[in-house]
Amino acid sequence: MKIEPFRLERYFAKHEFSAPYLLCTSDCESMELRDLLSIKPDAQEQFLSLWLGYTESSGDPVLRQAVAALYENITPDHVLVHAGAEEAIFNFMNVALDAGDHVIVHGPCYQSLAEVARSIGAGVSEWRGDPSRNWELDLEVLQARLTPRTKVVVVNFPHNPTGFLPGPEFMHALSALSEQHGFILFSDEVYRGLELDPSDRLPAAADINDRAVSLGVMSKTFGLAGLRIGWISTRNVRIFNDMAAFKDYTTICNSAPSEFLATIALQNAGKIAQRNIRIIHENLDHLDRFFAGHADLFHWYRPKAGSVAFPTLLKGNVDAFCTDLVEKAGVLLLPGTLYNDSSNAFRVGFGRKNVPDILQKLDTYLKKNTV
């Protein structure tokens, strides 16, 4: 198998552990092991006596129960646990697609959502949000792109990198189109649960469509990226069984300590997500003020959900800007060109507590340097 380098992940591999001020991460604030264990009485003792043998390939039943509780119409039997969302994307594309199939992907996208399909020999079309309308998607554009060979449509709400979140009627219309046409809806929902107003939360695709696949993970909403626990939820028996069998060639089963810790976190999902939404709320207020003070240089809009947004640099070149910024001030932004985007935008991430301090560093840089 030949696959193109993952541009965004290569960029992080270069900078994430050397640049001191990360202003583009997509995960939420993490926590120490002791803090997670302190959420549940006896958890520390249970953790120390955990058996470190192989685990159940589809995921620990108690963890699958905790995942299922995040959905309306999903039972533990519909949940297949993976090593992060990334393994689930890889495995899904490999079982759902053959060379010559057609896939439509919500763009600009987290690269693996398109790249794995391409590496299998599928034709990939982009269904791009409209930057002049805060990256809104148009269902008529999707309809025009559908062909008899279209097997999968990939969406990502709340969206990385733009923060776009449609209304529930959009999700229902998309699901109806999937029924009508026959494509499988692969819905990357890794930022679901990070809506500033809970009434904006979209129904999960797997809840409203019995062939759709919903993707979730511990990294974003729950801030526990280092656990490397993700999952798919689906009532599509064929996809579920094929993915379960494919996993025998990738990870076989998950890390027992990670499954144990993810279970504690998900049994307290609301509490942990609320803590992260509070951080996001505060950070967005800081970002609003920061961008209002630099309206000549940036176009900013405040997303309704998620931990990333995609403001535009109005002067100069975004690649040169990001390079100079990290070299001179140690502040890391993510140029949109890593998403194959040419709108001179960059990703900003606001799920971590240090965002206000880093914004001050960015402000100081802008005062000293001309863009």
Ligand X SMILES: Cc1ncc(COP(=O)(O)O)c(C=O)c1O
Q: Which residues are near ligand X by CB under 6 A?
A: 26, 84-86, 110, 156, 160, 188, 190, 217, 219, 225, 230
Phi, psi of 159 (to 5 degrees): -90, 135
Which residues partner with 22 through β-bridges?
Answer: 332
* Choice between 6 and 300, CB closer to ligand X: 6
SS3 (DSSP) at 169: helix
- The least distance separating ligand X from the CB of residue 149, rounded to whole angstroms, comes to 25
Q: At what angle do helices 84-96 and 112-120 cross, to 10 degrees?
A: 30
- The least distance separating ligand X from the CB of residue 189, rounded to whole angstroms, comes to 9
Q: In the bound complex, which residue of the shown chain has the CB atom lying closest to ligand X?
A: 84
* Choice between 80 and 371, CB closer to ligand X: 80
Least Cα distance to 284 among 304, 256, 267, 270 occurs for: 304
- The least distance separating ligand X from the CB of residue 200, rounded to whole angstroms, comes to 18
> Which are the contacts of 212, defined by CB distance < 8 A and separation ≥ 6?
175, 178, 184, 185, 186, 187, 205, 206, 234, 236
- The least distance separating ligand X from the CB of residue 33, rounded to whole angstroms, comes to 18
* Choice between 24 and 371, CB closer to ligand X: 24
- The least distance separating ligand X from the CB of residue 219, rounded to whole angstroms, comes to 3
Burial of 232 per CB tally in 10 Å (0-12, 13-18, 19+): buried
Local structure of residue 159 (DSSP, 8 states):
P
* Choice between 62 and 225, CB closer to ligand X: 225
* Choice between 150 and 219, CB closer to ligand X: 219
Least Cα distance to 210 among 177, 176, 185, 235 occurs for: 235
